[in-house]
Structure 1
């Protein structure tokens, strides 16, 4: 039946053209944005996963920044501590030289004073972004320092920030409030270091920085009257301090290595997450460009089909012409 009221062919052609236009619009949007899943309406599941993982990646980026800050702080402390160990070795050598007969011990002591000043300078200079793990001027001990190391999302959706911890008790060289808390300001019993201890304490300390709570004992300093036994005690104390400082430097070195490993891991993890998100939401540009060409062709054919369907009704007019 041919009807002038209802053009079924035109309706079918129009419906097809609308479908093509919708698909063409979607493909053009994908080509323009580069995303196959750009909004939640495209694919709610993939969009949700991608949004969460992008948020986690942003958190990991902050972790990477924190690791960089932590690495700089640790490196600063290690560099200063390494210099302190060198200066301490020089002080030890000066004390050994003072044990030789006929040397001018007063001049050696003057050299030692300069080395002590260098120790103080190194400890004071070991500051990065307001953090100094070697020099304490606070009433309380510096305590444990934390370096952000990772951002973790559990299987149940919970999140957690983990840290690398370092106890500054193992690094403080000078404490202006409590001398006993600093390696270079605390007192060490030379008798306890002796191979044949007498039970009578012989305490020595290296630096007197005027701490609010000083230690008791003898400062490691010499003059013309310093005897061999006293020099031996001082050498033993300096050697013990060198061992403790070496252990502290080794700990800082291990933390530096750990931070570097974690920094590399975080960087790789961020790359992997980016790739994973890309697999979920990125558009395949080869596929989309091919589809775009096909849909443009289909659109042209659809317009032609609609035009043909519309003109077919006009032929009915010829039936009513004389």
Structure 2
């Protein structure tokens, strides 16, 4: 190799090697700082675009989960209300059976009628209070009335091939307000009359109404319970799916920090050696001065 003070090939080679090491160090430090092996489309376009698509799916899953949680809260409130009403109806049925005894005196029948009126008011209060976020599945005309309050929720991020929309879970209003209207409006005064035979007949008629009301409530409890279980099942599936998608994104773009740490150590040594090699190469032209001494 010719000796020249104009061109220092050794220094240029050492500089190129040092620059390459520095670029590798920047990449490794970025991976360690962000925890990502693919932080930008510049790192790996294919993996980055797939990861971005999966991140979009995660956002949709979060929206679906939020919708299901709201529906679950509405349904759980309705279930609690319906169960309480079922208990109150059982009490009313017991009181009515007691009132059907023709041997009761007027005072006893009057006390029973007052108890029944109080229980009816409690049912009305429970219906009105079974509200969550402005939605009440008990207060309304029932499923036949399309204007009645009902709860709907997104089920998944998939779209129906026919409608092109995401599938929706729906639980209709149970119409307890209409059921309550079937009970006497006279505060059960007919049970407190002086004629024990008439009062007993009124009690028997009331028993039929209460049995119908109770059976309707049982049907509503089945509907609400099934809806609640469906929501919980969908929430569990969405939670598992979210975990799987999150893991999938991690497999695509997350950095192996143990590997990057080891790489950083090696690059630091290479950088130090590169600096020394460049220093030695820069000193080479000075050896030419000895030829002229």
TM-score (norm 2): 0.88
Worse overlay, 81-90 or 227-236 = 227-236
Deviation at 1:120, TM superposition (A): 0.7
Checking the alignment, whether the CA contact within 8 Å between 1:206 and 1:220 is kept in structure 2 is no
Q: Which residue of 2 aligns with 1:223?
A: 192
**What do the CA deviations read for 1:197-239 (whole angstroms, capped 9, x no partner)?**
xxxxxxxx21549xxxxxxxxx895232425444333212211
Q: Which residue of 2 aligns with 1:164?
A: 169
Q: Which has the higher strand share?
A: 1
Worse overlay, 275-284 or 56-65 = 56-65
Deviation at 1:167, TM superposition (A): 1.8
Unaligned 5+ segments in structure 1 are 175-181, 186-204, 210-218
Q: Which residue of 2 aligns with 1:120?
A: 124
Structure 1 distance, partners of 2:76, 2:189, is 29
Deviation at 1:301, TM superposition (A): 1.1
SS in 2 for 1:222: helix
Q: Any runs of at least 4 consecutive aligned residues in structure 1 with deviations exceeding 4 A, and if so which?
A: 227-230
Structure 2 distance, partners of 1:208, 1:172, is 18
Deviation at 1:15, TM superposition (A): 1.1
Among candidates 286, 296, 317, match of residue 268 of structure 2: 296
Q: Which has the higher helix share?
A: 2
Checking the alignment, whether the CA contact within 8 Å between 1:116 and 1:207 is kept in structure 2 is no
Checking the alignment, whether the CA contact within 8 Å between 2:77 and 2:131 is kept in structure 1 is yes
Is 2:50 the counterpart of 1:43? Answer: no
Checking the alignment, whether the CA contact within 8 Å between 2:135 and 2:149 is kept in structure 1 is no
Deviation at 1:163, TM superposition (A): 2.1
* Structure 1 segment 138-157 matched on structure 2, within 5 A: 141-142=147-148, 144-152=150-158
Is 2:275 the counterpart of 1:272? Answer: no
Deviation at 1:245, TM superposition (A): 0.7
Change (3 A) 1:107 1:220: closer
Among candidates 179, 183, 196, match of residue 183 of structure 1: 179
Deviation at 1:147, TM superposition (A): 2.1
Q: Which residue of 2 aligns with 1:96?
A: 97
Among candidates 131, 138, 141, match of residue 134 of structure 1: 138
Deviation at 1:173, TM superposition (A): 0.9
Worse overlay, 56-65 or 267-276 = 56-65
Checking the alignment, whether the CA contact within 8 Å between 1:151 and 1:160 is kept in structure 2 is no
Checking the alignment, whether the CA contact within 8 Å between 2:135 and 2:150 is kept in structure 1 is no
SS in 2 for 1:150: coil
Q: Which residue of 2 aligns with 1:31?
A: 32
Q: Which has the higher contact order (CA 8 A, sep 6+)?
A: 2
Checking the alignment, whether the CA contact within 8 Å between 2:25 and 2:267 is kept in structure 1 is yes
Structure 1 distance, partners of 2:156, 2:19, is 51
Is 2:257 the counterpart of 1:285? Answer: yes
Structure 1 distance, partners of 2:121, 2:140, is 17
Q: Which residue of 2 aligns with 1:206?
A: 183
Change (3 A) 1:67 1:127: same
Q: Which residue of 1 aligns with 2:87?
A: 86
Q: Which residue of 2 aligns with 1:258?
A: 230
Change (3 A) 1:87 1:283: same
Unaligned 5+ segments in structure 2 are none
Structure 1 distance, partners of 2:41, 2:50, is 10
Checking the alignment, whether the CA contact within 8 Å between 1:91 and 1:115 is kept in structure 2 is yes
Q: Which residue of 2 aligns with 1:307?
A: 279
